[in-house]
Chains A and B, each alone.
Chain A
Amino acid sequence: MAYIPHTDAERKEMLAAVGLQNLDELYQAVPADVRFPDLDLPEAVSELEIAQEMQEMAEANVDVQHFACFLGAGAYNHFIPSAVDHMLRRGEFYTAYTPYQPEISQGTLQAIFEYQSLICNLTGMQVSNASHYDGATALAEAAILALNHHRGRRTRLVLSPAIHPHYRQVVRTYMQGMGVEIVGDEHLPGSADDLPAKIDANTAMIAVQYPDFFGRIRDWTALGQAAHAAGALLCVVVNPLSLGLLRPPSEFDADIVVGDGQPLGIPMSFGGPTLGHFTVKQEFVRKMAGRLVGETVDSRGQRGYVLTLTPREQHIRREKATSNICTNVALMALASAVYLSLMGKQGLRQVAELCYHKAHYAAEQLAAVPGYSLWTKGSFFHEFVLKCPRPVAEINQALLDLDILGGYDLGQDYPELRDHMLLAVTEMNSRDQIDALVEAMQEVSHA
């Protein structure tokens, strides 16, 4: 049997040692009427067969290696250097558990410490945890931190409508039992300038995205000041790759910076697993959920690393813990640490610049096509919104026939943006691909 190495002789010998005749006798405590159900499952196949079967399933999909991808909206097609996956495939990393025994887990512990360091240096923040599941759950945990910071005395959260719709939905899911009022994202305003007006004396936190869901970038310094004047925390949701180019959110005096680390060396993999990064100012370190690695020394005087401040966590504080998180996404944190190390100071800036310039080239070319216009005003990073002459779904269907994955249909989430397409352009899109998109969009501009 697959992955069960027992021989018949060994099985017999072991049963005898336990004092049993057969395996069925192991389960006397299980109610007899429901014991040993006849499961309706397929018969086993071999490794050879499963590899072929899954190859066929994978090939039933359209993937971004075979189609030009202009779809972003929270998951991005980026270049991943080969060395990243070679490191992830080290069995010593991926078949280890959470590093509870530091003497034999220094590899994972130091890698997480380096991840924490790289993310802090990228965001400008002082403390990073070892990761959350994804950007959406990291934002929900930021909200919990802010509510706890105010000891439950403030019950209002302000969310910008330009935060990823899924992230806002996840915050609402997490908050449904907590008696919290979530405001600010009821509809899409003409500008972000009315956000400060939503902050009141009952507001625990205001959250914005940078670049926002539509790709726009703006300086959130004034918003940070307004939040702090009212005693609320400022949380900024970032695309960490954009910080190769953009001012870090620490410069807006953000209290919490979260985001999804998928652009940092993690394949899209149909949306998961990705990486929720979570960073705070030093003063919030003891209120932050999730694992933390700290530096120390061992009994021989060597520098080493351990999980630290564990008294915050669920297995010690039980119902008083601020979060139940234990397993996070350590391997994805490792991926981003390898990626950021390989890219380094110059490489990350180059990637971010390539994205920026290619997106601006695409936006300019597309806006010049009759029938289309650019909804996005002002600065943007690598995504922009295009007003289309036809329903986005129809355009995308036509693009698919030309081996192009078009942009995201914003009308799904924002009724005001019917017939508006959100396009993402990255270093993976060559000029030829962009020119082909422009030509195709021209062809499909009318039915």
Chain B
Amino acid sequence: MPEPLIYELSSPGRQGVTLPAPDVPPAALPAELMRGELPLPEVAEIDVVRHFVRLSQLNHAVDTGFYPLGSCTMKYNPKVNEDVARLPGFAFTHPLQDPETVQGNLALMYMLQEWLKEIGGFAGVSLQPAAGAHGELTGLLIIRAYHQSRGDTRRTKILIPNSAHGTNPATTSMSGLQVVELPSDDRGNVDLAALRQACDDTVAGLMLTNPNTLGLFEEHVREVVELVHGCGGLIYGDGANMNALLGIVRPGDLGIDALHYNLHKTFSTPHGGGGPGSGPVGVRPQLVEFLPGPVVEIVEEEDDEQAPLYGLVMPARSIGRVKAFHGHFGMHVRAFAYMRMQGKAGMRAISDHAVLNANYIRVKLRDVYHVPYDRICMHEFVAEGRWEDAPGVRALDVAKRLMDFGFHPPTNYFPLIVHEALMIEPTETETKATLDAFIAVMRRIAEEARTDPELLQTAPHNTPFGRLDEIRAAKELVLCCRPVEMTPAA
């Protein structure tokens, strides 16, 4: 049974919250600026709580089951993160307080900057960007500002491999730069011949996702970096796949000049049903002065009596603010707690087990699902959801059928360079028992594709909702509801 809308639970005169009586004399209200109708629902607290609890129960989530959604790193979100982020000293501080009154916050942000620098091999980090795509925009604006500052204004092209995340081309346009797409070779790497041809003095940079969206470590990363640097361009690293690289290799050591981290992927802050994320950007030395600000710096060194004094500083040639205030601080707190609990040894262990889990599923499925680039993968791999002897079945059907067994489907139809792609990323936080259960179901579905294709084509069957009519949604375009009493009679 679908849950009614909150407006459908409304009864005139009901109220969910009581507020204190006024303790000051009333002031005159400017009549010409007062609103008439305030069309909000009128519901009791119990209505609101039951409504949203029931809605929550219609969701699949990491807390309810396996979520192998490729490129999204749906790892477990530690509960203690949620507790520490809500400590009054963090949650109830105002962003414009005098820095001397928020030294705890600034110390935390400073250490997080330092750790991210160390993990990525960078000279500077800004925590301001609010999400991965926001970090990408930041990174490209930094690259643009760097070239501009050298009077190198001809550089307007950004090279993007065709296996890149969809955000990369959109980000490039937003930065006022032009996209040049590069093909992949037959091992899933950047096609070096095409790259060599594209490299000239109009190239501002190249956006590299490494591991790429096939889950493969770029085998020619050194050559790619050399070619781009050789023509005067810079390398932007899409850090969405950092979960494979912690303690394995530092992007800065590979020559990547700027990279965003997704704290909501790699560092366990929750995805929240689509945010808030956090997308800090790390850069090599020549780009530090262009970082968005403010960043946290030590403004007075510690001595025998005093802890260091932290302050908020705008980098000298900053591209400017990318957000009001200081970024998603609540996410910084969660990532800090997680990184502190992992420590040095834990970082390497995260990637080791994320990569091991992905390879384990790959070898257990590759005889029944075609894996087009079948070599040791990193934290994820891409299989095809199609069979010659099951012509009516598509990756989408496999995805929907998985729901019947309590699993969230892998990412499908991405990357675009694989037909009927199923992109599987298990993360390190899953037990072998969960992986084995998933493998068994995937094998069963591959069999059903031949024996009972309709079962897949009409799936899911065991979920509270069947397939939704997306065409109707786009055609009728009902994007909000009005209060019941305001709806015109039919």
Bound-state CA distance A319–B277 (Å) is 23
Over the window 29-42 of chain B, the binary record of Cβ atoms lying under 8 Å from chain A Cβ atoms (1 yes, 0 no) is 11011110011111
Given contacts A269-B90, A270-B102, contact A41 B347 (CB under 8 A): yes
Q: Which of A39, A60, A114 has a CB less than 8 Å from the CB of B119?
A: A39
Structural contact, B94 and A127, CB atoms closer than 8 A: no
Instruction: Provide the B325-347 mask, 1 if CB < 8 A to any CB of A, else 0.
Output: 11111110100110111111111
> Least Cβ distance of A140 to chain B in Å?
9
Q: Which of B435-477 contact A (CB under 8 A)?
A: 458, 460, 463-470, 472-474, 476-477
| Given A98-B274, A267-B91, A104:B48 Cβ within 8 A | no
Query: Interface segment, B10-18, B195-203, B298-306, B385-393?
Result: B10-18
Cα distance, A376 to B1, chains bound together (Å)? 54
A25: nearest chain-B partner, CB-CB:
B376
Size of interface on B: residues with Cβ below 8 Å to A: 202
Please tell me if the beta carbons of A176 and B324 are within 8 angstroms of each other in the complex: no
Min CB gap B290→A, angstroms: 11
A330 cross-chain contacts in B, Cβ below 8 A: 272-275
Given A110-B5, A334-B273, verify A292-B479 contact (CB < 8 Å): yes
Distance between Cα atoms of A8 and B418 in the complex (Å): 35
Task: Report chain A residues within 8 Å CB of B24.
Answer: 357-358, 361, 431, 434
The answer to whether B483 touches A13, judged by C-beta atoms less than 8 angstroms apart, is no
Q: Note all chain A residues with C-beta closer than 8 A to B468.
A: 102-103, 296-299, 304-306
Q: A57-B107, A61-B104, A329-B272 are in contact. Are A92 and B59 (CB under 8 A)?
A: yes
Q: Is B257 an interface residue (CB 8 A)?
A: no
- Structural contact, B130 and A36, CB atoms closer than 8 A: no
A405 touches B107 (CB 8 A): no
B61 contacts the other chain (CB 8 A): yes
What string of 1s and 0s marks CB contacts (under 8 Å) between A309-348 and chain B? 1000011111111011111111110100110111111111
A74, CB-defined interface residue at 8 Å = yes
B221 interface hit (Cβ, 8 Å): yes
A49 to B430, CA, bound (A): 25
Q: A133-B323, A134-B324, A173-B322 are in contact. Are A324 and B170 (CB under 8 A)?
A: yes
**B84 touches A (CB below 8 Å):** yes
The chain B residue sitting closest to A381, CB to CB, is B33
Q: CA of A341 to CA of B106 in the docked complex: distance in angstroms?
A: 35
Count A-side interface residues using an 8 Å CB cutoff.
Answer: 203
Binds A, one of B71-79, B227-235, B281-289: B71-79
B271 interface neighbour in A31, A98, A144, A272, Cβ under 8 Å: A98
B330 touches A273 (CB 8 A): yes
Q: For the complex, is A21 an interface residue (Cβ under 8 Å from B)?
A: no
A1 to B82, CA, bound (A): 20
A217 touching B27, Cβ below 8 Å: no
**Contact A245 to B107, CB < 8 A, known contacts A272-B330, A343-B40, A346-B15:** no
B270–chain A nearest beta-carbon distance, Å: 5
- Could you tell me which residues of chain A, from 147 to 167, have a CB within 8 Å of some CB in chain B? 164, 166-167
Q: Are A37 and B479 in contact (CB under 8 A)?
A: no
Please state if A83 and B76 are interface contacts (CB–CB under 8 Å).
Answer: no
Cβ A329 vs Cβ B35 within 8 A: no
Q: Does B122 contact A (CB under 8 A)?
A: no
Whether B308 sits at the interface, judged by CB under 8 Å, is no
Shortest distance between the CB of B243 and any CB in chain A (Å):
12
**A179 proximal to B (CB < 8 A):** yes
* Pairwise interchain contact A347-B16, C-beta atoms closer than 8 A: yes
> Does B92 contact A65, Cβ atoms closer than 8 Å?
yes
CA distance A443 to B88 in the complex (A): 30
Q: Which of B325, B340, B430 contacts A75 (CB 8 A)?
A: B325
- Enumerate B155-194 residues with CB–CB distance to A below 8 Å: 166-167, 169-177, 179
B237 close to A (CB within 8 Å): no
A300 with B254, Cβ < 8 A, contacts A110-B55, A272-B329 known: no
Q: Please encode chain A, from 81 to 122, with 1 for each CB lying within 8 Å of some chain B CB and 0 for all others.
A: 101011101111111111111111111101111101110111
- The residues of B that contact A126 with a CB separation of less than 8 Å are 480
A75–B91 CA distance with the chains assembled, in angstroms: 12
> What's the count of A-B pairs with C-beta under 8 Å?
696
CA of A334 to CA of B97, assembled, Å: 27
Please, which residues of chain A bring their CB within 8 A of the CB of B409? 101
**Is the beta-carbon distance between B69 and A97 smaller than 8 angstroms?**
yes
B208 contacts A by Cβ under 8 Å: no
Question: A14: which of B219, B271, B432, B469 is its contact (CB, 8 Å)?
Answer: B432
Find out whether the CB atom of A272 lies under 8 angstroms from the CB atom of B326.
yes
Cβ A104 vs Cβ B463 within 8 A: yes
Max chain A CB contacts within 10 Å: which of B26, B42, B272, B359?
Answer: B272
CB distance A318 to B98 under 8 Å?
no
- Closest B residue to A13 by CB, please name it: B432
Partner of B429, one of A5, A35, A130, A319: A5
Minimum Cβ distance to chain A for residue B272 (Å): 3
Is the C-beta of B295 less than 8 angstroms from some C-beta in chain A?
A: no
CA distance A284 to B438 in the complex (A): 44
Per a CB cutoff under 8 Å, which of B43, B274, B320 touches A328? B274
B93 and A118 within 8 A (CB): no
Q: Does A283 contact B (CB under 8 A)?
A: no
Residues of A within 8 Å of B397, CB to CB, are: none
Chain A residues within an 8 Å CB radius of B19: 79, 347, 350-351, 354, 427
Given contacts A104-B463, A329-B275, contact A166 B324 (CB under 8 A): yes
Contact with B along A250-287 (1 / 0, CB 8 A): 00000000001000000111111110000000000100
**Binary interface profile of B, 85-121, with partner A (CB < 8 Å = 1, else 0)?**
1111111111111100111110110000001001101
Tell me, yes or no, whether B400 is within 8 Å of chain A by CB.
yes
Give the residues in chain A near B34, CB-CB below 8 Å.
245-247
Q: Is A414 part of the contact surface with B, judged by Cβ < 8 Å?
A: no
Check A130/B274 contact, CB under 8 A, given A61-B102, A106-B58, A327-B264: yes
Are A176 and B38 closer than 8 Å at their CB atoms? no
Q: State which of A269, A323, A356 has its C-beta within 8 Å of the C-beta of B170.
A: A323
**Contact indicator B170/A50 (Cβ below 8 Å):** no
Q: Is the CB of B2 within 8 A of A303?
A: yes
- Knowing A270-B326, A327-B264, say if A31 contacts B221 (CB, 8 Å): yes
A28 interface contact, C-beta 8 A = yes
Query: Which residue in chain A gives the minimum CB-CB distance to B83?
Result: A51
Tell me the minimal C-beta distance from B457 to chain A in angstroms. Answer: 11
Determine whether the beta carbon of A120 is less than 8 Å from that of B23. Answer: no
Are B105 and A357 in contact, with the CB atoms below 8 A? no
Cβ contact of B349, chosen from A4, A101, A112, A297, cutoff 8 A: A4
- Complexed CA–CA distance, A407 and B76 (Å): 41
A128–B345 alpha-carbon span in the complex (Å) = 45
Chain B min CB distance to A236 (Å)? 13
Residues of B contacting A110 in the complex (Cβ-Cβ under 8 angstroms): 3, 5, 55, 58
Known: A97-B72, A296-B473, A329-B276. 20 other contacts (CB 8 A): A1-B342, A17-B363, A26-B356, A50-B337, A54-B337, A56-B104, A74-B95, A93-B273, A106-B464, A107-B59, A110-B3, A113-B480, A177-B177, A245-B29, A269-B91, A273-B330, A319-B173, A346-B15, A347-B17, A400-B98
Of the A-B pairs whose beta carbons lie under 8 Å apart in the complex, a sample of 26, sorted by A's number, is A3-B78, A3-B268, A5-B429, A18-B359, A28-B376, A34-B250, A44-B344, A58-B104, A63-B92, A71-B97, A91-B61, A95-B77, A121-B483, A136-B321, A170-B320, A170-B322, A173-B322, A174-B137, A176-B145, A260-B324, A271-B94, A294-B477, A295-B479, A309-B477, A343-B17, A400-B98
8 smallest CB-CB distances across A and B, nearest first, come from: A177-B176, A271-B325, A58-B89, A271-B95, A44-B343, A91-B63, A331-B272, A60-B104
